[in-house]
Structure 1
Amino acid sequence: MIELIRQYWQNYLFTDGFNTTGLAITLWLLVASIVLGFVLAVPLAIARASRNRYISGPVWLYTYIFRGTPLYVQLLLIYTGLYSLHFVHSHDMLNSFFRNAMNCTLLAFALNECAYATEIFAGSIRETSHGEIEAAQAYGMSKFKLYTRIILPSALRRALPSYSNEVILMLHATTLAFTATVPDILKVARDVNSATYATFQAYGIAAILYASIVFALIWGFRKLEIRLLAYLKPQGH
């Protein structure tokens, strides 16, 4: 394993000499999909928690489809399925977008992440204390201020433990990127294995890298939970 690290460490971490590969690509996919998913999930979670079925219904359908089908199938549909449609490859902008493996992979990951995050956040919004809402209404807050100052800050903090697990699962899901020829950690490990036939060592290095990222995520989210959820701890007398 040490010899493989010496020979292929750049491939696993940053570049193969021509293109960005390995850890850098995996982290980019993770961060980009999480950020895009979060930005989309917040307004969708508000709609999902609405009592109006015409507002919550379409969001429920979207989350049901993306949570009810495997991410691998979604990636294949977006990467190869959509491009086979005539209106996609006949339109210059769509053709350019869906010909790029990274674009398709990121789109699939972001939509999948958004679906799970939407349900997590919507559940936290529904669990917001009625006392907090009534107090804000008594204070004269508009619905916009009620959400931006009371409901969303409280809901997002309480959703942090569940959301941190979803982020880790999203990291694991990035291993599917190699099926779209995206040079992530697993793709590099497969290439190294093909070149050296050192299967245990090639995939062992990949496992160590993934485990290191997970430990860093757990540590970071734990620090956030201690800071943001301190008010939920029982107070001593």
Structure 2
Amino acid sequence: MRAFWKPHRIVMALIALAIVVWSVLTLRWDWVPNYLGLAAQGIWRTIWLLATSIVLGMALAIPLGLAQAVGPRILAWPARTFCTVIRGTPLLLQLWLLYYGLGSLFPTIPWIRQSEFWPILRQAWPYGLLALTLSFAGYEGEVMRGAFKGVPKGQLEAARAMGMPRLTILRRIWLPQALHRALPTLGGETVLQLKATPLVATITVVDIYAVASRVRQDTFITYEPLLLLAVVYMAITGIIVLGFRWFEQRIPSRVA
């Protein structure tokens, strides 16, 4: 506990407290009760987009990294091309291409319009989720490539010599160590993914950023919604950081 309260942290805490007191006493907050329900929905949608895109993105990033690390050329080249394209183009461009491209193409295909998926495909959030997922997979696919290559080959060769099947080696030795090596980077990428979620507001998805923009348009109050928005993002970021630190401490050191 004493280690936490170092001089620079005490100064930062005092500055933060002074900013909070100044904000409460001098700024307008009478609009907050009118938008609490909408803000709660926006926060939930932001967290949902973040968590879902990370889970789906990692599910895609692992085979992408594995294909680049040891896969044959027929798998390695498409995986490398995908990661290069995703990392080389802005997320906003990818989002608009999916929304205004696929979103404009699907209505012209009769069997899609008549399918049970059309009520979902006509909304904006699937395209936002797809763009965030592909973006995360492209970056993490490259991270997982390095993580897979970083696992000592001697351990893999020893497992093969013991007669372990390839899937067992991947599940029990290779993948756990690769994930452990990628965990610090994964934490940073998750924070960056959170900061990328406001882009979905450009295709009418109502996340927490879109709620702040609506408050500004309805009330012509600018600074207060942005300050609260910053607090929300900082709080979620703090939870992410603490969560990944907890995972890093709980993973057995022998896995590293």
TM-score normalised over the length of structure 2: 0.82
2:39 to 1, 5, 12: 12
CA distance in 2, matches of 1:3, 1:221: 37
1:63 to 74, 79, 83: 83
Deviations 1:127-156 (A, max 9, x none): 101221122122111222211111001101
2:44 corresponds to: 24
> Which 5+ residue runs of structure 2 have no aligned equivalent?
1-27
1:146 corresponds to: 169
Moved more, 35-44 or 171-180: 35-44
1:82 corresponds to: 102
The answer as to 2:240 corresponding to 1:221 is: no
CA distance in 1, matches of 2:113, 2:65: 28
SS in 1 for 2:163: coil
CA distance in 1, matches of 2:189, 2:179: 14
TM-score normalised over the length of structure 1: 0.88
Aligned length: 225
2:230 corresponds to: 207
Does structure 2 conserve the Cα–Cα contact (< 8 Å) formed by 1:4 and 1:202?
A: no
RMSD over aligned CA atoms reads 1.9
> Which 5+ residue runs of structure 1 have no aligned equivalent?
15-21
Q: Displacement, 1:79?
A: 0.3
1:102-113 alignment, distance < 5 Å:
102-113=125-136
CA distance in 2, matches of 1:193, 1:211: 20
The answer as to 2:35 corresponding to 1:3 is: no
**Structure having the higher Rg:** 2
SS in 1 for 2:211: helix
Deviations 1:61-87 (A, max 9, x none): 1111111100000000000022334x7
The answer as to 2:201 corresponding to 1:182 is: no
2:21 corresponds to: none
Does structure 1 conserve the Cα–Cα contact (< 8 Å) formed by 2:50 and 2:193?
A: yes
CA distance in 2, matches of 1:151, 1:94: 44
Which runs of 4 or more aligned residues in structure 1 lie more than 4 Å from their structure 2 counterparts after TM superposition? Answer: none
From the superposition, tell whether residues 91 and 71 of structure 1 become closer, same or farther in structure 2 (CA, over 3 Å): farther
1:93 to 105, 109, 112: 112
Does structure 2 conserve the Cα–Cα contact (< 8 Å) formed by 1:30 and 1:174?
A: yes
